[in-house]
Amino acid sequence: MKTLFLECNMGAAGDMLMGALFELLTESEQRSFLDTMNGIFPEKIMLSPVPSEKCGVWGTKMNVVILGQTEEDAMPHGTGQEEPHMHGAGHSHPLHVSYPEMLGQIDSLPLSAAVKEHAKAVYTLIGTAESNAHHTDISQIHFHEVGTLDALMDVVGCCLLLETLSPEQIIASPIHVGSGSVRCAHGILPVPAPATADILRDVPIYGGTVEGELCTPTGAALLKHFASQFVAMPPMAVEKTGYGMGAKDFPTANCLRAFWGSMSILPVPSPKQLPGSYDTNALAQIPGGETRPDFYTEQFHSLDQILELSCNLDDMSPEAVSYAVGLLLDAGALDVFTTPVYMKKNRPGLLLTCLCNLEEESRFSRLILTHTATRGIRIQPCYRRTLDAQFRKVRTVYGEITVKISTGYGLTKFKPEYEDVAAAAKQCKVPFGKVYDAAMAACRKEY
């Protein structure tokens, strides 16, 4: 599966993302892309990729030249990742373009219908966030004309590049948004700026120690629209890496990296990948007239990646296999289990499976190779969703019983711990099931 992974350790801006994607193209594709982009507004604007170096790392800085100015020269504020600003109601001016006018301008571009639809969706995210920040209707949002052109080039350019690359899935890392404050037309605002924070709702973000605005509204909207999930870099065979450089210098290389490669696993679906329309505030109906939050409205809840280590065993005694399973569990494996299988020459055997975190692979692989008879291990990356768990004690007529309470996705599950139930049943001389049922009844009553 062709995969694009976007590393946002220094945030994201439209020009950074465009520079990183541009580097993934072949030379002929790059020439075609520039010809297309520079033919959109030939008398007003020009896109110029230039080599740029940050902390010894070389990449591409996408300069948008407007009437002889670069986009940095044209901007009235000095953020870490430069970008135009939007105004709310009451700022109408000949140099401003309204949200409906912006959509009309996108529709008029000589580009494919898919590129235009994606660009309009990105601008809708930005416009909605700005309208929320200004407490006004989206139709009252106005985009500064100078900012309109360079931001439009950033958005349209990224949409066109992604159409050219045509990845089967797009994944991004959690986004570094920066810290401190940023100066804009409305004054000094906290980082992330209100519009950026609104766009990045439900997306994993972090502040870090870098002072400045690292993620702009345009960068946030592009990532929110295109990325199906925001997780650590998955196991993938990387074929090419692109570096998109930011405007400012920081102690850390100010760049966005794009990794192009292959994965052998399917992505966790996001709402926009599923058939039908999903309202993120809607409740899904279930039998009995009850409601629960739709599973996919919490797509980032407890999503993590693990590895499945497995091997076939047909020449070990049951005692030796049992010892290896116990050793792996004691070493901290997430889970270990065996499955009966039939191997070559129809010999019965066992499939040993060990689940572990990505960073623990080498340690558990060594344990398996050391304590089993296998000569090789299969390693399969997996995504998983989990419910949050906590342990509480409940009072019953048979004494206190520890219960595991699992919650998430609108669900709550209870499970009395075996050891406590067994100990109480033995002490009170009653069946195991009676103690278990009493603990479950206490859970329902208390929670």
Higher pLDDT, 265 or 445: 445
DSSP 8-state class, residue 274 = S
CA-derived radius of gyration, the chain: 27
CA distances from 102 to 99, 159, 222, 425 (A): 5, 16, 16, 71
Taking a C-beta distance cutoff of 8 angstroms, is the pair 272, 118 a contact? Answer: no
**Is residue 126 over pLDDT 60?**
yes
Where residue 212 falls among pLDDT bands split at 50, 70, 90? confident
Sorted by where each begins, the domain ranges of the chain are: 2-268, 303-385, 388-446
For residue 174, say if its preceding peptide bond is cis, omega within 30 degrees of 0.
no
Mind listing the pLDDT tens digit for each residue in 15-67?
999 999 999 999 999 999 999 999 988 878 889 999 999 999 999 999 988 76
How does DSSP assign 57-118, residue by residue? Answer: EEEEEEEEEETTEEHHHH-SS--SS----EE-TT---TTEEEHHHHHHHHHTSSS-HHHHHH
Contact, 118 vs 166, CB < 8 A? no
How far apart CA 403 and CA 410 sit, in angstroms, is: 19
Which one-letter DSSP state was computed for residue 431? -
CATH architecture of 303-385: 2-Layer Sandwich (3.30)
For 133-143, the pLDDT digits (tens) are 767 767 666 65
Q: Are 199 and 129 in contact (CB under 8 A)?
A: yes
Residue 86 has pLDDT above 70, yes or no: no
What's the pLDDT score for residue 352?
97
Give the whole-number percent of the chain exceeding pLDDT 70: 81
Confidence (pLDDT) at 184: 67
Take residue 258 and report the two structure tokens written for it.
Answer: 């794009």
174 has pLDDT over 60: yes
Q: What are the φ/ψ torsions at residue 23 (nearest 5 degrees)?
A: -70, -15
Q: Give the pLDDT score at 38.
A: 93
Look at residue 209 in the predicted model and tell me its pLDDT: 82
pLDDT digits (tens, 9 = 90+) for 293-321: 343 344 444 457 789 999 999 999 999 99
pLDDT in tens, 344-383: 888 899 999 999 988 888 899 999 999 999 999 999 888 8
- Report the C-alpha gap between 321 and 222 in whole angstroms: 50
pLDDT given at position 127? 86
Residue 10 vs residue 70, higher pLDDT? 10
Residue among 306, 317, 310 nearest 368 (CA): 310
